[in-house]
Amino acid sequence: MAALDPVFAVAYAATVASVALVFLALALFARRGSVSLSPGRLVGLTKDEASRLGTGDAVFLMHLSIALGVGLSISYSLLDPALGLVPLLRTVILVVSLPLALGLVASFAWRVERFVSSKRVEKALGSPASFTTSSSYLQLILILAIALTTTELVLLWFPSLALAGAAVGVLRNVLVAAYYARPSVNLIGYFDKPLHEVRVPFNLADVMAGKTDPDSIRSGVSKASEFDAAERLSFDSCVEIGACEAACPATAAGRPLSPRVLVRKVSLLAGSGGPAVDPFASVGEDELWSCTSCGACVASCPVSVKHLDIVYDLRRGLVAQGRLDKKKSMMLENLAQTQNPYGFKNSTRAAWAEGLGVDTLAANPKAEYLYWVGCLSSFDQRAQRIAKALSTILKRAGVSFAILGGEEGCVGDPARRLGEEGRYQELALQNIEKLNAYGVKKIIATCPHCFNALKNEYPGFGGKYEVVYHTQLISDLIRQGRIKVPPEKVQSISVTLHDACYASRYNSVFDEPREALAASVADLREMHRKKEKTFCCGAGGSNYWYEVPQQKSISGIRTAEAAKTGAKTIATECPFCLSMLDDSTKVMDAAMDVRDVAEIVAECL
């Protein structure tokens, strides 16, 4: 560039100004959302994104192409006057721009496809025209930003078109400052917030101890103004990327929910009305009940929007207003009266263990592990076989363990996911009191919902234990040679593993069940959606206890995916998944059986 050419000087000044605008916007949103843009956070984010490169996740790679494409073109435009002096640097930038441009083209195509399907979803949901217009606008801005960045990267190759490139860059930078600075801040602030972290509106123990004034407690949101700054930053950061909608099992089943539409509706509502806007005027009750809390939306969001926070806070709002149908209130009542969500006599919890020589902790307080059975494996005659199988394995391996029997109470997950935080904490505190009284140190769980609560949630209420998932322990026992599958006992069946959301996506347990299966069966096949990208069975988020309107069943979609592998057995690792998929194979008349990993391994011993 002829540095003294006044036209180029003006173009460069505009470029610098537009870049400054981007940083100004970043600083502004960071301050408003109380997010730190410290080098530490940025390094952390970079490491996190680098670690996800290997997953080969398409949405993530597109997000990376866009982010790096913007970064590269900004760098190029700022360095432009110096590049004539360092021709090698220019070559390097040009070479690097190639894969990014490819990623951007892919992003463009994907985004156009999402646009079309988003309009289909909105039509099915009956979204009002005002919403559709606003959504289309944001999506077109996104498509435009991608197109501009792609164009800019291409123009880098043609120095004669540098002026045009600068103009494109300035326009794109203005768009970034206006629309994408806030999501960037949200990403920097919350990329490492674990999926299992639930916002806790109050601490029941503090209330009971008189440390918190009960009148100051507000559980959930009944007015749009009640969302706090972090939640507001989260939902205002939605730029209609649409990855959540593509991943959501509720949307796929034709339920009245799209995580994208929900988040945007809440954002528009909180931004528009006065302080008392009723969220339930635009968010439907079944819309909120449609969520299975599988976490696919949050995990897939490239800018770290936390959809589940919003779902839980609004569900809590419904609970606070008593807007629960009979099925949901009955489940909560059962939890209060019988310590299990089905209304069975809790004293019959250990009926499955009769004659198996399984001790209760009361009889054997020195046992190394407590086996936390969970309600479904205690009371469901089918799921009891999981408990029996695990007991067989543990006994064979010589692991010292005991159960709580009638002293075990529901872990509380169904109440918490339904939005009844008080009932959840009540159950958690009761359980923790018992566990601590027995001096429990190590716990095994066969239900991922119990596992997640015990491992990640109970520490916050004073229950700190070493919690291991049964598939982890089984694979350890195999690796250590404490249980052995003799070659002639390896089952010559074809198996595909359905990962449970709360084990895989929530807690990164997905290699261990595969190791256990690899040792036990001859033919292990994979579904397309697997490990942390698994697809829900439809029972999570308390959905097991009620029905919502839908076009097809979530479990049916998943069972069809399993059938497509040609496997004759679906291996599960969660009693709820087992129940849902087992029903679906019957509905579809599929010649497949559904068994827990523990059952399959136990049969080989």
Partner 1 sequence: MKAVWVYSESDAVSNEVASAAVDVAKGAGAEVQVLELGAQRPGVFASGGKLLLKGPPSSPTPGAAAEAIARAARELQPIAILTGATRTGREVASRLAAKLRIGCIAEVSKLGADGESIFGERNVFAGKAVARVSCPFPAAATVKVGAYPRLAGGNGGLQEKDVGAVSDPVKVVAREAKSAGAVDLKSAKVIVSAGRGVKKKEDLAILEELAKEMHGALGCSRPLSADLGWLPEEHHIGLTGVTVKPELYLAVGISGQLQHVAGMKDSKVVASINTDKDAPIFQASDYGVVGDLYQVVPAIRKALAARA
x/- mask, partner 1, residues 292-331, rule CB under 8 A, reads -----------------------------------x----
CA distances to 179, 264, 602 from 310, rounded to whole Å, are 21, 11, 42
Distance from C-alpha of 470 to C-alpha of 91, rounded to nearest angstrom: 54
Task: Kindly state the smallest distance separating residue 382's Cβ from partner 1, in Å.
Answer: 5
Residue of 35, 259, 584, 592 interacting with partner 1 (CB under 8 A): 584
Measured from the CB atom, the residue of 186 and 584 that comes closer to partner 1 is: 584
Q: Would you state the structure tokens that stand for residue 485, as one six-digit string?
A: 């599958």
Selected from 421, 582, 596, 599, the binder of partner 1 by CB under 8 A is 582
| Region at 255 (left for phi over 0; alpha for psi -120 to 50; beta for the rest) | beta
Q: Is 544 in the site for partner 1 (CB under 8 A)?
A: yes
Binding partner 1 (rule: CB under 8 A), the pick from 237, 290, 553, 569 is 553
Task: Give 346 or 579: the residue with its C-beta nearer to partner 1.
Answer: 579
Torsion sign, CA atoms 285, 287, 292, 298: negative
382 sits near partner 1 (criterion: CB under 8 A): yes
Give the alpha-carbon dihedral of 597, 601, 602, 605, to 10 degrees. 180
Nearer to partner 1 by Cβ, of 166 and 253: the residue is 253
Instruction: Indicate whether 197 belongs to the interface with partner 1 (CB under 8 A).
Output: no
**In this complex, which beta carbon is closest to partner 1, that of residue 45 or of residue 590?**
590
* H-assigned helices in 197-289: 204-208, 229-236, 243-247, 249-252, 259-272, 285-289
By the rule CB under 8 A, 583 interacts with partner 1: yes
| Residue of the chain from 271, 547, 560, 593 that contacts partner 1 (CB under 8 A) | 547
Return the range that interacts with partner 1 (CB under 8 A); candidates 103-111, 160-168, 339-347, 456-464: 339-347
Tokens of 58: 């398409």
CA-wise closest residue to 413 among 542, 573, 306, 548: 542
DSSP letter string over 33-102? TT----HHHHHHHHHHHHHTGGGT-HHHHHHHHHHHHHHHHHHHHHHHHHHTT-HHHHHHHHHHHHHHHH
Among 44, 254, 343, 406, binds partner 1 (CB under 8 A): 343
Q: Is the dihedral of CA 238, 228, 289, 539 positive or negative?
A: positive
**In one letter, which amino acid is 530?**
K
Contacting partner 1 (CB under 8 A), which of 376, 399, 562, 594? 376
**CB nearer to partner 1: pick between 183 and 556:** 556
Residue from 113, 479, 587, 593 touching partner 1 (CB under 8 A): that is 587
What letter would DSSP give residue 403? B
Residue from 379, 458, 461, 535 touching partner 1 (CB under 8 A): that is 379
- 291 is an interface residue for partner 1 by CB under 8 A: no
Stretch that binds partner 1, among 20-28, 42-50, 217-225, 373-381 (CB under 8 A): 373-381
Distance CA 403, CA 399 (A): 13
With the C-alpha atoms ordered 78, 80, 86, 88, is the resulting torsion angle positive or negative?
Answer: positive
The long-range contacts involving 12-17, CB below 8 angstroms and separated by at least 24 positions, are: 12/80, 12/81, 12/166, 14/166, 14/170, 15/77, 15/78, 15/80, 15/166, 15/169, 15/170, 15/173, 16/78
Shorter beta-carbon distance to partner 1: residue 9 or 588: 588
Helix axes 259-272, 87-125, angle to 10 degrees: 90
Smallest distance, partner 1 to C-beta of residue 243, A:
29
Task: Tell me the window of 39-47, 215-223, 340-348, 510-518 that interacts with partner 1 (CB under 8 A).
Answer: 340-348
Between 267 and 543, CB nearer to partner 1 = 543
Site string for partner 1, 75-114 (x = CB under 8 A): ----------------------------------------
Smallest separation (angstroms) from partner 1 to the CB of 305: 31
CB of 339 to partner 1, least distance (A): 15
Q: How far is the CB of 289 from partner 1 (least distance, A)?
A: 12
Q: In whole angstroms, how close is the CB of 380 to partner 1 at the nearest point? A: 4
How many secondary structure helices (H) and strands (E) does the chain include?
A: 27, 8
Tokens encoding 588: 């579809």
Comparison of 169 and 409: residue with beta carbon closer to partner 1: 409
What number of chain residues touch partner 1 (CB under 8 A)?
22
289 binds partner 1 (CB under 8 A): no
Bridge partners, 523 (sequence order): 494
Give yes or no for a contact between 200 and 453, defined as CB atoms under 8 angstroms apart: no
Task: Give the residue with the Cβ less far from partner 1, 15 or 584.
Answer: 584
Phi, psi of 572 (to 5 degrees): -120, 170
- 546 binding partner 1? (CB under 8 A): yes
Give whichever of 131 and 546 is closer to partner 1, judged by the CB atom.
546
Is residue 142 packed enough to be buried (19+ CB in 10 Å), middle (13-18) or exposed (0-12)?
buried
Binding part of the chain for partner 1, among 204-212, 227-235, 581-589, 597-605 by CB under 8 A, reads 581-589
Judged by CB under 8 A, does residue 342 bind partner 1?
Answer: yes
Interface segment toward partner 1; rule CB under 8 A; list 242-250, 426-434, 501-509, 580-588:
580-588
202 is a site residue for partner 1 (CB under 8 A): no
Cα first-last separation, the chain = 75
Footprint of partner 1 (CB under 8 A): 327, 342-344, 376, 379-383, 544-547, 553, 556, 579, 582-584, 586-587
